Amino acid sequence: MEKISREIGDIVEFSNGRYQVVEDNIVPDKKRNNVLLLLNGLAIVLMFVTGSLMVVLNGFIHDEFSYDLELFTLLAYMIGLLVVFFGYVVIHELLHGWAFRLFNGNKKNQLKFGVILKNGMAYCISTVPVNVKAARLSLMMPVYVVCLPLMILSVVLGNLGLVILSAALISGSAGDFYYMWKLRKTSEEYYMFEEMPTKEGYEIGYILYKKID
């Protein structure tokens, strides 16, 4: 895909219509490292806070945790955790794509999936602008479909392994929570668009458009 104009007021044509640029929210290169540090810190905070919350809730409901160590050694459990985590990365991006199709009306050829080896990041990108309301739903879909149910299950069963797993998975949504915060006051009449990653890496942020036809 060609680089999209970011100039305010420019008219840009996509396969689903014409849009006018109203706001450029791409993080400048000089601030990129600071934002990456913020996102890494947010991931740690999410894991700690959700994990602590579930431990406290378990303390009210159960006398003790279930460890299941008679079935798995600690090493085997950690390996299994890593396998599940990498599998979740795929599911995470597929859920974003499914939400784009369901709530924004994307066609299959308007979605791009991939991995940036340089940054160790997977992505699902819509090649057309996404309505802000649909974007918010897409951002939170992995949390709604996977993380929250797993958190509830961990508390119901009192299983420490599920507590650790659900806390680790929700930390993977740090970037999604960051975008939700950025979009919190954005009008739902606007559309957001993320540029396709390049060999140099992944742009942090998005461009806001107003649809004109």
Question: What does the pLDDT read at residue 1?
Answer: 47
Tokens coding 166: 């659900």
pLDDT lower than 70: segments of the chain = 1-3, 63-78, 80, 119, 199-201
pLDDT tens digits along 66-121 = 555 444 555 666 676 778 888 889 999 999 999 999 999 999 999 999 888 776 78
Question: For 153, phi and psi rounded to 5 degrees?
Answer: -65, -40
Question: What does the pLDDT read at residue 161?
Answer: 78
How far, in Å, CA of 20 to CA of 13, rounded? 9
Question: What does the pLDDT read at residue 4?
Answer: 77
3-state secondary structure the chain: CCCCCCCCCCEEEECCEEEEEEEECCCCHHHHHHHHHHHHHHHHHHHHHHHHHHHHHHHHHCCCCECCCCCCCHHHHHHHHHHHHHHHHHHHHHHHHHHHHHHHCCCHHHEEEEEECCCCEEEEEECCCEEHHHHHHHHHHHHHHHHHHHHHHHHHHCEHHHHHHHHHHHHCCHHHHHHHHHCCCCCCCEEEECCCCECCECCCCCEEEEECC
Question: What does the pLDDT read at residue 46?
Answer: 92
